[in-house]
Amino acid sequence: MTFGQPQTRFTSSSPYSVAATRPLHVLVFLIPLMLMYEAGSVLYLAREARGADTIGAHGILRGFFQTFGAASLHLPPLALSVVLVAWHLLLKDPWKVRPRVLGLMAFESALWTIPLLVMGLLLTRPPAAVALQEGTLQALSWQARLTISLGAGIYEELLFRLVLIGAIHFVLVDLLRAKHAVGAFAAALVSSLAFAFYHDVSGPGGVNLRLVLFFTLAGLYFSTVFITRGFGVVVATHAIYDIVALLVFTRER
């Protein structure tokens, strides 16, 4: 299933808006982020967080693989890579990566981050990613916080956008024959609500409605980026937001 992509043959000369959403460019774009997260998990999180799963979505995916007897720490990135390669093969796209597309994807992701940062500052002070775990985060090195930011971008988007939106859209549109717009909106809404309550939104008097509102709107925002601009751009957008929130707004120990 692809969102917002023309059903035409992809070529090495296709425009950037199309190339950035294709699986080969997405995979090559994400490989450095996945490698940095895996290295940071071993070098920093395993020591500073005592080996605990600091990325809930990563833990959920690991738990899924463990139910089938696969307990490897590194299976989620391997599975994502396999899915993207299989998708590339099914589309029969050319095996050519355009470096300019990768650079523009990074630049576009940074631009998409700006409205999200503004929204976060208006709704939650400090930004939500910091407010949730301020005491815990302050005890971590900047390398560990960078690793957490990358992991959240990769695995939360994998779980809530690529898997959840994809599954809901498949059921509504492909099985129940709903219109694409209806399926996409319903999938984005459900994914956004699940994303909001996946986070700890409790406050001193119960549920923190500002956090619920922020994470729901952030989920809708990420869903929009995913549906219109693809998986690679939304992962980087999420990761850049968390990097700014966790490294700029959280004091290093």
Per domain, the residue ranges of the chain are: 16-248
- Return the residue matching tokens 């605990």: 52
- What distance, in Å, lies between the first and last C-alpha atoms of the chain? 45
Q: How much is the pLDDT for 61?
A: 66
Q: How much is the pLDDT for 63?
A: 64
Phi, psi of 21 (to 5 degrees): -95, -5
Separation between Cα atoms, residue 80 and residue 176, nearest integer Å: 27
- Return the residue matching tokens 């929204």: 119
The two structure tokens encoding residue 202? 């409790």
Q: How much is the pLDDT for 48?
A: 76
Tell me which residue of 128, 136, 197, 187 sits closest to 163, measured CA to CA: 187
Q: Which residues contact 3 (CB under 8 A, 6 or more apart)?
A: 169, 184, 226, 227, 228, 230
Region of 92 (left: φ > 0; alpha: ψ -120 to 50; beta: rest) is left
Contact 229, 25 (CB under 8 A): no
Tell me the Cα Rg of the chain.
Answer: 18
The two structure tokens encoding residue 196? 């909001």
The two structure tokens encoding residue 67? 């139910």
Q: What is the DSSP string of 194-220?
A: HHHHHS--EETTEE-HHHHHHHHHHHH
Q: How much is the pLDDT for 69?
A: 59
Q: What is the DSSP string of 3-51?
A: SS--SS---TT--HHHHTTSHHHHHHHHHHHHHHHHHHIIIIIHHHSTT
pTM: 0.89
Q: How much is the pLDDT for 121?
A: 86
Q: How much is the pLDDT for 75?
A: 80
Separation between Cα atoms, residue 23 and residue 165, nearest integer Å: 17
Separation between Cα atoms, residue 102 and residue 99, nearest integer Å: 5
Helix (H, G, I), strand (E, B) or coil at 99: helix
The pLDDT profile of the chain, 253 residues, written as one tens digit per residue, is 455 444 567 877 789 999 999 999 999 999 999 999 999 988 988 887 664 455 666 666 666 556 655 555 678 888 899 999 999 999 999 999 999 999 999 999 999 999 999 998 888 765 555 544 555 667 788 998 899 899 999 999 999 999 999 999 999 999 999 999 999 999 999 999 999 988 877 777 788 888 899 999 999 999 999 999 999 999 999 999 999 988 887 654 4
- Provide the β-strand partners of residue 207: 202
